[in-house]
Amino acid sequence: MSAPNISDSTEIERRKYINSIYKCIADCDNCGLCQVFHGKAPELAFDDYISGKREYMDVSMDYR
């Protein structure tokens, strides 16, 4: 499933998408998401996307 476009989705849909693809498994030694997002929860890392300020790929490029 690809990320919903800002123009075609609601904030709730975008938040649900981020939470579904970046699930916290509460085992940081095995997961690594916290390291990828520099210590931020994915929902905070993608706040600009969720709030409709920037597209998913633009935010995602910040963490590559």
Q: What is the pLDDT of residues 7-38, one digit of tens each?
A: 999 999 999 999 999 887 776 666 777 778 88
23 compared with 54, residue with greater pLDDT:
54
pTM of the predicted model, to two decimals? 0.85
Q: What is the mean pLDDT of residues 36-62?
A: 93
Q: What is the mean pLDDT of residues 31-53?
A: 88
Percent of the chain beyond pLDDT 90?
Answer: 62
Q: What is the pLDDT of residue 49?
A: 98
CA distances in angstroms from 2 to 15, 33, 40, 61, 64, listed in the order given:
13, 19, 22, 16, 18
